[in-house]
Structure 1
Amino acid sequence: WIVEGDISKFFDCVNHTKLCKQLYGMGIRDQRVLMIIKAMLKAGIMDEIQINPLGTVQGGIISPLLANVYLHSFDQWVTREWENKKTKQTYATPSIQQEALKKRSHLKPAYLVRYADDWILAADTKRNAEKWKQRISNYLRSNLKLTLSAEKTVITNVREKPIHFLGCECKMVKGKSRAGYVTRTMPDRTRLKSKVKELHQKLSTLKRCKNKEALIHEINVVNATIRGIIQYYQCTTWVNIILSKYAYNLKWKAKRVLDKYGGIWLPANEVNNLTSVHADYTMGIPAVTYKYAKIGITSLAFCKWKKTQLKNPEESPFTIEGRKLYQERTGKTPLRARADELLSLHLSKIISKGATDKKYNFEYFLNRAYAFNPDKGKCRVCDEELKPFNLHIHHIDPHLPQASVNRVNNLAAVHEHCHRQIHSREDYASLGKKIWKKIIAFREKLNRLM
């Protein structure tokens, strides 16, 4: 049995004094920081003279973090009542302790899952779920000055009806064994319909593009939206079944829009964009030709279930060991997928508006990924691993004709600091013979061609 919790107007009802005390208790003792946070909380709406006595800014970047701080005591209270219950006797493992408590105590088992102000609580019986719902309502009202919504907080048997949590539907269904159950998850169909409706509206805007450059940018925006939906829902077991239902109509809508620009059908693995996705599919997608390249609109059907990994609590940007764990995890991302991360929408927008040097066009935009792959995602100068945030693409010969300057064999993927070293006149022999030799080689090509 699951209690689907809904805190009524949570972001409007956060008590500022209580929140600041909690921040202080968690170790934030700098009064200047606390005063800045309090000023942010009290800041009113522009053009209005009234300040906010309660609540946090909805949509503000700091609001989800402050929600976690405010509800941290709620988490601790629930876990103290069951998962981390203190007992006189010491047990070898938590599971042994919980089995003993079930047999020898009147405690009500409960497991809380919370994300910001959205939470669910799992209980073993309907009666216990009802008792927990009442206890939580009392705790929130007396300790955090919050109200549990009586209408929206429901108790659900997940074997009979799915629960809705963070945009997903979850239900327990019978597995292959007689007594066993497995979890079936899928995108929340109501929310997904609204997202698909927005996609259809985005596709309609493609008809109003003034030129091919603007069209390519809008295609990039649509593709980023489609891939964003897929990446959010790929943790659900039925992601391919549900998303495929919407893919057909979306594909034909895209084709009708692109007909104005000479749209064609192409196998997905023959287009030049999103190669990490399209390389595995031969299904036809609508595409347009831009110079030598074929730019396609991707499909919602190009999705697979991806098993999610549990968060390692040791992974952190604040410790050496934590950063090492992060590097190990992100380094496992397939090379083609890391290459597609270079296709930044910011750069795409700048190119579409003609705000860059003429050699930085969409041919350059697409070939950045191809230049990244031959060296296996490593810098051509120092041979260290490249990340999107510190990567530059160097034109080996920037004076070639426009038709040749952005060919893959004229592009080199390097670190930002290595790129500066190539164009500098300083001596970098201290970096080592191998690296210095490569820098000299790139400089000689530039100098010979100038």
Structure 2
Amino acid sequence: MAKQYVRKKEEVLQTTVTSIRHNEYYNMQKMFDELYEKSSKNESFESLMPIILSKENILLAYRNIKTNGGSITPGTDKISIKDLKSLSSEEIIENVRHIVTGKRGYNPRAVRRKDIPKPNGETRPLGIPCMWDRLIQQCIKQVMEPICEAKFSNHSYGFRPGRSTENAIAELEKYNVYSNLHYVIEFDIKGFFDNVDHKKLIKQIWALGIHDKQLIYVIKQILSAPIMLPNGEKIRPLKGTPQGGIISPLLANIVLNELDHWIESQWENNPVAYKYSVRMNKNGSENKGSGYRAMKKTKLKEMYIVRYADDFRIVCRNKKDSVNIKIAVTKWLKDRLNLDISEEKTKIVNIEKQYCDFLGFKIGLKHKRGKFVTESHVADKNLARETEKLKKQIKRIAHPADDKDAATQTYRYNSMVMGMQNYYQHASHVNKDFAIVAWKINDLLLHELKPSRQKGRLARKGRELTPMEKERYGKSKTIRYDSMTGIPIYPIGYVQTKAPSNFKRGKTPYTEEGRKMMHKDLSINTTLMHELMKQTVHGSIEYADNRISLFSAQHGKCAITGVEFRDVNEIHCHHKIPKSQGGTDEYQNLMLVLNEVHILLHATSNETIQKYSELLQLDPKQKVKLNKYRKLIGLETI
């Protein structure tokens, strides 16, 4: 599986809630809700292109792409999002429509092929479309996603709004512990993204109820877009969907959604189960216990799938069933989807005796007080890889260009530590695994930051910890500081395990109730905080350090609107008194605001003021706050 796509719960919620806010800005949320509802009722869609090419959807797509870190990467035409920023809204809308509906029809430019190194020494091909084609793909994705979400299986977690690796791990462990399904089949599809059958995919899109022929034509063109190799040669693909395309993850889920439902039909949704009484559980799921008890007396094989993108596991009751299921699934994938399984990497695991690897974790069972409980660790390869990453970063801290670079490298190290702890905390034995990492890392820190011939940089005291740092690392006896900058160096070994949470049925961005569930799950965004830390320090170290402190003090919210930050690119740091007027980078002179709020704080033209006032829809209290700070910089109130 493409491991760079693996996302944790906080990151997924952050992205999803940002998307919801953007949808509401451009009045598209109601439309997406309607598409989801109609798809839930199995209605078909014959006229989606007018929605895709609507003014609101195009501007929403531009906004979503603009907040995506990858938008600065140019395609074969050398254009990035920066080049589009100089265009007016009308020019962007007109250009998108012309590219898609012009006389010559839609012909995407060549996709730039870039080979990304994998931990095992091999490379993963990444396909980077041109910026205008990315924008068009985003327009399509926004409209197709609610339709597909209504049809996707509950056992699929990758690339889906509100779902995460944490939920996938929780479901697998639930089957292992509570359902006593101790045989796990680890499947590996050979080069999945490179081998997607185009004709089959188009049929699957049609089967989902997407019957707009113009849209189908555009998707065909996207799939067959030429690929420019690193040597400049162009090839036209006959199969596959390039990793790197905005719409590729959605298309991948469409392909494997058929597998999910086929597995469900073998047991979970087998017609036999519905011949008996079915009750509703509190979470909205169906309780088919009576039917399942009857089915266990037949020759039907009990099985469940847990899938994250092309990485999936099937759990079953015993060795005999697992052997037969492995053969059946391998044959089904070949016959139905024209996909091959890697026999070397596909295996059957009895997790009472061995660990099953899934999404960077190794999961097993152990006996405790007469019953089985989960015993999970960080997977061996992942532990080794993460250790090497931290070692390399410590060497960058030890040899900085100057004080500012030392701060940048320390913040990046801290963001790596937080990211690793946030992701792997769902392993039951993460503290033991990271204790091993800490032993190696601390030894290197002592060696690199405390050389014998000069004053050591590793200190026991430094700047005051932010509220978030105090809560997380305040009681640690192993936290140290870089005396060069005063910045704390987060202890990798100071981590507590946290049980993975199950996905809540009904949680979706496309219903009112589902959105409420998403907002309820949000807490102060540590993922976003470590994204802030990764950024290169611009301005003084004091400025960079105070941004981190402000994020914590403001509880990750905009100082004017109170809206939670959900993307690092929307966080702007405002000087209450500008530096040009004698202002400083001191904590008291700074506040974090949304980028649109920052524009409105400094806006002088009536056109800009009107545009962003309409966009933000500030209430009276928020306007008072805004005008207070406009006065401080010598501007008129709004």
Identify the TM-score tier after normalising by the shorter chain: 0.7 to 0.9
Q: Which residue of 1 aligns with 2:251?
A: 66
> Pairwise mapping of residues 108-119 of structure 1 onto structure 2 (< 5 A)?
108-119=301-312
Choose from 395, 400, 411 the match for 2:575. 395
- CA-based RMSD: 3.1
1:442 to 597, 609, 629: 629
C-alpha distance in structure 2 between counterparts of 1:34 and 1:415, whole Å: 38
* Corresponding position: 1:236 with 2:437: no
**Aligned residue number for residue 355 of structure 1:** none
Q: Is the 8 A contact 1:78 1:110 kept in 2?
A: yes
In 2 relative to 1, CA 235–15 (structure 1 residues): closer, same or farther, beyond 3 Å? same
For residues 335-365 of structure 1, the C-alpha deviation after alignment (integer angstroms, 9 at most, x for no partner) is 7x488357253xx3261xxxxxxxx423122
**Contact 1:247 1:300 (C-alpha < 8 Å) held by counterparts:** yes
Moved more, 154-163 or 26-35: 26-35
Deviation at 1:143, TM superposition (A): 1.0
Larger Rg: 1
How far apart, in 2, do the equivalents of 1:194 and 1:437 lie? 51
> CA contact under 8 A between 2:187 and 2:347: conserved in structure 1?
yes
The amino acid that maps onto 2:578 is P
Which secondary structure state, in structure 1, belongs to the residue aligned with residue 484 of structure 2? strand
Match of residue 547 from structure 2: 368
Which amino acid in structure 2 is aligned with residue 188 of structure 1?
Answer: A
Letter aligned with residue 281 of structure 1: S
1:410 and 2:589 equivalent? yes
Q: Deviations over 1:276-297 (max 9, x none)?
A: 533342324252333xxx1133
Q: Which of 129-138 and 82-91 deviates more?
A: 82-91
Q: 1:124 aligns with which of 317, 324, 328?
A: 317
Say if 1:62 and 1:240 are closer, same or farther in 2 by CA, change over 3 A: farther
Go from structure 1 to structure 2 and tell me whether the alpha carbon gap of 1:45 and 1:274 turns closer, same or farther (over 3 Å shift). Answer: farther
Q: 1:379 to 1:62 in 2, by over 3 A?
A: closer
Q: Residue 299 of structure 1: SS of its match in structure 2?
A: coil
Q: Measure how far apart 1:174 and its partner are.
A: 0.1
Query: Aligned partner of 2:423: which letter?
Result: Y
Partner of 2:30: none
Report the Cα distance in structure 2 between the residues aligned to 1:188 and 1:14, rounded to whole angstroms. 29
Q: More relative contact order in 1 or in 2 (CA 8 Å, sep 6+)?
A: 2
Question: Judging changes above 3 Å, is the alpha-carbon distance between structure 1 residues 438 and 67 closer, same or farther for their aligned structure 2 residues?
Answer: closer
Identical-residue share of aligned pairs (%): 26
Mapping of residues 10-409 of structure 1, within 5 Å: 10-42=192-224, 43-46=226-229, 47-58=232-243, 60-87=245-272, 89-92=275-278, 93-103=287-297, 105-176=298-369, 178=370, 180-259=371-450, 263-266=457-460, 270=464, 275=469, 277-290=472-485, 294-330=486-522, 333-334=523-524, 337=526, 340=529, 343-345=532-534, 348-349=535-536, 351=538, 360-374=539-553, 376-377=555-556, 379-382=558-561, 384-389=562-567, 390-399=570-579, 405-409=584-588
Q: Following the alignment from structure 2 to structure 1, what is the Cα–Cα distance between the partners of residues 553 and 382?
A: 41
Q: Distance in 2 between matches of 1:14 and 1:52?
A: 11
- CA change 1:271–1:21 in 2 (3 A) is same
CA shift digits 1:380-413 (9 cap, x unpaired): 444x3332544433322234998x7222222234
Partner Cα separation in structure 1 for residue 413 and residue 492 of structure 2: 11
Secondary structure of the structure 2 residue equivalent to 1:302? coil
Q: C-alpha displacement at 1:269, in angstroms?
A: 8.9
- Amino acid in structure 1 at the alignment position of 2:342: S
TM-score by length of 1: 0.83
Kept in 1, the 8 Å contact 2:304–2:314? The answer is yes
Q: Distance in 2 between matches of 1:269 and 1:209?
A: 20
Distance 1:288-1:48 versus aligned 2 partners, 3 A rule: farther
Alignment correspondent of 1:357: none
Give the Cα separation in 2 of the matches to 1:269 and 1:241. 29
Q: 1:33 to 1:400 in 2, by over 3 A?
A: same
- Given that 1:114 and 1:120 are in contact with CA atoms closer than 8 Å, whether structure 2 keeps it comes out as yes
SS of aligned partner of 2:414: helix
Q: Structure 2 vs 1, CA of residues 159 and 263 (structure 1 numbering), >3 Å: closer, same or farther?
A: same
Could you tell me which runs of 5 or more consecutive residues in structure 1 were left unpaired when the two chains were aligned: 352-359
Q: Which amino acid aligns with 1:90?
A: Y
Report if aligned partners of 2:184, 2:348 keep a CA contact under 8 Å in 1.
yes
Q: Secondary structure at the match of 1:289?
A: coil
The TM-score with structure 2 as length reference comes to 0.60
CA distance in 2, matches of 1:71, 1:432: 46
Q: What are the superposed Cα offsets for residues 10-66 of structure 1, whole Å, 9 maximum, x if unpaired?
A: 233221111121122223334444344434433334222332222232455544432
Secondary structure at the residue paired with 1:343? Answer: helix
Change (3 A) 1:19 1:270: same
